[in-house]
Structure 1
Amino acid sequence: MTVTSAGTLAILLAAVALVTLVMRPRGVSTVDFYLAGQRVGVATNALAICGDYFSAASFLGVAAAVYVSGLDGVWYAVGFAAGFVPVLLFVAAPLRRFGEFSIPDFLGRRLASERVRLVAVGVVQIVILSYLVPQAVGSGITWQLLVGHGLPGLSAYATGVLLSTAVVAALVAFGGMRGTTWTQAIQFLLLLGALVWLAVAVAGSGFHYSGAVADLSAEPLANPVHDEAGWHLQPETNQLDPTEPATFGQPGAAYGPLAQFALILTLVMGTAGLPHVMNRYFTSPTGTAARMTTVWVLGLAGLFYALAVMLGTAARQQIAAAVEGHPWLEELTVDGVLRVPEHALPVLGRIYGGDSGLAVVAAGALVAVMSTIAGLLLAAAASWGHDVYERHINPRATQRQAVWAGRTSTVVAALAAGALAIAMQPEDITPGVPSIVAAMVTWSFAIAGSALTPVFVLAIWWRGTTAAGATAGMVVGGLVSVTMFVVGALPIGPGLGEMLMTPTLVAAPLAGLVTWLVSRSTTPPDDVERQWLVLHGTAADRHAERLARLTIASAEPTQRRRGRGRAARREEERDADR
């Protein structure tokens, strides 16, 4: 590691730690720790959501997918960005108006069932872990390229995984949602700045996107493989027309027609079920603020992914042309093509900016990883600390005990993700997908979109949703998606394996159908109409409903009013806060 690289990383970590220290929660309440007191503004929350969402799969993975498979890699950018459209239309405002801590908390209260809450906690933890692991893998890959060596007894890859997860776990446990919100917002601006700088540098060198696509499409697309003969380039099979060679500018280099649609659907539906993203909407002060936050996110996502696609294309063209003038590229490439696609942006940064450019881009990649890991750890803490510890293990817990339970959860989740990522040495993985990091994140989108999103949306928009239906839907969606993953890993023929690795096309409709069928034969919660008013009513509607309840309550005998219990009074106070 050069002095420049070391200095860049040191400054980055120091800045993140300083922001976390300054913006840490002042109180010890769970609302402060998990939701930043529900006072996060529109612009700040939008930037924080972007920092949370634009992970290693977005920064490294999208460019890598485009680098490897051209147009088929663009589907990742389309799906990741378009995922916020249904969130804007169907989820953001009702979710915030209902006002809970997490997806399990929302489902448990909306359907008046602790069983639903616990099943949702299980699904959420699977989604979080499957999302955490590729972030840790991305940090290991970046550290391996930037530093090249590790701590005593550890490889460079394992060192990157260990340090990133440990540092972020400590910062999250200390700073809570408030500190994490500001660090994520700043981290996203740094991430976007790295992309903009690299795009300007590439464009300044004479790069033109349309011309590059035409040049790259003039010959068959081939990528490095490693077998008994060593490293060599192997042409990609055209999944749409096996009689024709796969090219950079035409679809079919990675996915068949059904698999392409399945990938986009998986990413779009999965976004609404991602715990670390949806939890951020609970931090908005109002439902309107949550909706406007999503509008901001959509605009920022369009800019971010347009730059990622452009730079993935530039890397494919420029790196091959730069091998002769940069001898260090020979160790990373095979006939001008990178062995590890996720190195595309860092290598491009070094070509145009030397060690400083590499440090800037690699720091951006680590920022993406750290920011997303922070959001995931907070989501894990909310599920375990609030939905399990406070509700079931220790219902009489003080606020301080509940916060410490959440902090402990962040450490446990980080340890589990780090151990799995270290066990998955990326050089031992031969993915049938453009980018291993993007593909692994897609698996978490698939589980979320299959097991959580259908039930989540039905609970928001269908009065007839019941606890039994939601439980059955989550179980079926989760089991079907995981089963399809397992079958998809088998050599079962061209195209079909890729479609099975994005199972939402099958699993989500099944989960929705099972939820509907079981709900039709069971009874919805007694207070569904009042819940509906909270979810979808106007402010005037909710105000009138509160006045009516206060009028009825004032007419009750004094002894009955006293006997309503603390839970009922807390429910009224929470409705009044909305």
Structure 2
Amino acid sequence: MTAAGATALVTLVTTLVLVAWLVRPRGASTVDFYLAGQRVGVATNALAICGDYFSAASFLGVAAAVYVSGLDGVWYAVGFAAGFVPVLLFVAAPLRRFGEFSIPDFLGRRLGSERVRLVSVGVVQVVILSYLIPQSVGSGITWQLLVGRGLPGLDPYGTGVLLSTMFVAALVAFGGMRGTTWTQAVQFLVLLGALVWLALAVIGSGFRYPEAVSDLSATPLANPVPGPEGWELRAETDQLDPGTAATFGEPGAAYGPLAQFALILTLVMGTAGLPHVMNRYFTSPTGTAARMTTVWVLGLAGLFYALAVMLGTAARQKIADAADDHAWLAALTTDGVLRVPEHALPVLGRLYGGDIGLAVIAAGALVAVMSTIAGLLLAAAASWGHDVYERHINPRATQRQAVWAGRASTAVVALTAAGMAMVMQPDSLAPSVPSIVAAMVTWAFAIAGSALTPVFVLAIWWRGTTAAGAVAGMLTGGLASIGMFVLGVLPVGPGIGEMLMTPTLVAAPLAAAVCALVSRVTRPPSDVDRQWLIMHGTAADRQAERLAHLTIHGPGRSRRRQGGTIHGEGTALAERQRRTSRGPQKGD
């Protein structure tokens, strides 16, 4: 193992072990395991959401996309950052006020249907796996570059995939949401610190972004591709003006006009349907806190992605300039251009900080991967442990049994994702897309934005949404997006294939239309007015409703679920907290 590898691993393991010790589990309540007791503050939750959201696609993928396709790679940064605007405006506060464990739990109770719950569990698991696989791919790429050695029977890439996924699965099972929250907050600070250090080092060397873009745009954009006699550079064709060569500072290197819009829409729509991100809003103490958390996230996202875009540009210029002076770059480049775009930031770190610089960036990359894997595994645990095990397999499960079901599900999902990631070959896939990690994450955004977000937003903002409409909408959006993915693999022509790989532009409106049409001819839940008050009423309105309900029904009945809805402070979560504080009771 190199000195850089040893340094990065020591830093990474020390950080994670320290956090794991600080957040060792307290009790076996499902509210604590899945939602950290709903006591996570604004700043802490914002940092944790950033650690959850700024994944390998953000840290490695955005810089890689900019590196390989110039301005077209910036669309990833725009879409990833802008995705929190609709969350802030339409989702965060009503979602928290309703107060559940997960997206399936919210939809199932909002629409009064177990069928909705189970269908959304299936969609959520597809999204989680689609998001988990590229994170594992990112960890394998980083381990391969950093350590270069594998476990017996495994190559370095497979070793990185297996170790990172299994280590995080153990941490999630050990600490639950509370442990994951603090781990993600600390990991994001490490991640941001690595980017800030590298940005300062690059700027200190004389790098200026406008001059670099102008310099890189002076020649046609070309990238390495495998040929019959080895790697060779191939000029990129301008998708906006076929027949001409693309340049770094102009759009068209990777996407046509419609495909560019489709990519941004896919990323913006997908954010509100990501299970691991939306679940974090249930941990906020109030709806106002959830909204303020999103404001913090938007500010941090702007800083993070601005740095990623700048560093992707710096890597394109500085690595080419240094290729003739560093023998170790010869194994990674062709004519000064990296063969694997995700190596951009680690190589830039080594150029400016030697082995220690490489270790800092590689540790940041592994931290980004592990933090997102943790959030995804916890979302999977909530879906399987709470929405399936507690609701259907063992409705009389004790708190301890429910928590152990969630822990077991993290191991199963982690092994599945690791196994699928280990069969991927990043070297052969990289030439076909701007960044294999960013592209694969985009597929997860597309499924979430097509199948979940339209139904999710309609359930929050349209009283007429019904269970049958939600099921039809989710199935339509999910099948349409996956079907377009399949068509996109086929040779369908320049520009069309790229748009098919970002299908939300077509699939999301189709899902919303089907949901609305089916809802028009079916009956909404009978207690939709009460649900509406919980999500959208003022604090005074909700207090008046609770007092009226106490007057009519008495204190006992107001605390129970009625007709699949949640009644203010008498929510299912509040009831669980009361039961937990009393200790195990008969029937719990």
Range into which the TM-score falls when normalised by the shorter chain: over 0.9
Match of 1:384 in 2: 384
Q: Where do 5+ consecutive residues of structure 2 fail to align?
A: 576-588
* Residue 234 of structure 1 pairs with residue 234 of structure 2: yes
Query: Helix, strand or coil: the match of 2:344?
Result: helix
Match of 1:144 in 2: 144
Distance in 2, Cα, partners of 1:566 & 1:475: 32
Match of 1:39 in 2: 39
Match of 2:578 in 1: none
Percentage of matched positions with identical amino acids? 80
- Counting matched residue pairs gives 572
Displacement after TM superposition at 1:359 (Å): 0.3
* Residue 492 of structure 1 pairs with residue 487 of structure 2: no
Distance in 1, Cα, partners of 2:460 & 2:67: 40
Match of 1:289 in 2: 289
Query: Helix, strand or coil: the match of 2:232?
Result: strand
Match of 2:535 in 1: 535
Letter in structure 1 aligned against 2:355: D
Does the 8 Å contact 1:432/1:498 carry over to 2? no
Letter in structure 2 aligned against 1:167: F
Match of 2:3 in 1: 3
Match of 2:168 in 1: 168
Distance in 1, Cα, partners of 2:139 & 2:194: 16
With normalisation by structure 2, the TM-score equals 0.95
Q: Residues 230, 431 of structure 1: CA spacing in aligned structure 2 closer, same or farther, 3 A cutoff?
A: closer
1:158-197 to 2 correspondences below 5 Å: 158-197=158-197
Q: Residues 478, 571 of structure 1: CA spacing in aligned structure 2 closer, same or farther, 3 A cutoff?
A: closer
Q: Residues 8, 472 of structure 1: CA spacing in aligned structure 2 closer, same or farther, 3 A cutoff?
A: same
Distance in 2, Cα, partners of 1:99 & 1:574: 10
Does the 8 Å contact 1:240/1:257 carry over to 2? yes
Displacement after TM superposition at 1:44 (Å): 0.2
Displacement after TM superposition at 1:574 (Å): 4.0
Letter in structure 2 aligned against 1:381: A
Letter in structure 2 aligned against 1:506: V
Distance in 2, Cα, partners of 1:278 & 1:485: 25
Does the 8 Å contact 2:150/2:157 carry over to 1? yes
1:418-567 to 2 correspondences below 5 Å: 418-554=418-554, 567=561
Displacement after TM superposition at 1:124 (Å): 0.1
Does the 8 Å contact 2:56/2:369 carry over to 1? yes
Letter in structure 1 aligned against 2:391: R
Distance in 1, Cα, partners of 2:238 & 2:355: 38
1:38-437 to 2 correspondences below 5 Å: 38-437=38-437
Does the 8 Å contact 1:25/1:36 carry over to 2? no
Displacement after TM superposition at 1:16 (Å): 1.1
With normalisation by structure 1, the TM-score equals 0.97
Displacement after TM superposition at 1:568 (Å): 4.5
Q: Residues 552, 137 of structure 1: CA spacing in aligned structure 2 closer, same or farther, 3 A cutoff?
A: same
Does the 8 Å contact 2:239/2:252 carry over to 1? yes
Distance in 2, Cα, partners of 1:394 & 1:243: 62
Query: Helix, strand or coil: the match of 1:224?
Result: strand
Match of 1:558 in 2: none
Query: Helix, strand or coil: the match of 1:231?
Result: strand
Does the 8 Å contact 2:558/2:567 carry over to 1? no
Query: Helix, strand or coil: the match of 2:218?
Result: coil
Query: Helix, strand or coil: the match of 2:130?
Result: helix
Query: Helix, strand or coil: the match of 1:535?
Result: helix
Displacement after TM superposition at 1:14 (Å): 2.5
Displacement after TM superposition at 1:145 (Å): 0.3
Letter in structure 1 aligned against 2:313: T
Distance in 2, Cα, partners of 1:249 & 1:473: 40
CA distances 1:130-155 after superposition (whole Å, capped 9, x unpaired)? 00000000000000000111111110
Displacement after TM superposition at 1:371 (Å): 0.1
Instruction: Out of 192-201 and 419-428, give the one that drifted further.
Output: 419-428
Does the 8 Å contact 1:455/1:473 carry over to 2? yes
Distance in 2, Cα, partners of 1:534 & 1:448: 25
Does the 8 Å contact 2:534/2:567 carry over to 1? no
Displacement after TM superposition at 1:350 (Å): 0.2
Q: Residues 361, 552 of structure 1: CA spacing in aligned structure 2 closer, same or farther, 3 A cutoff?
A: same
Q: Where do 5+ consecutive residues of structure 1 fail to align?
A: 555-560
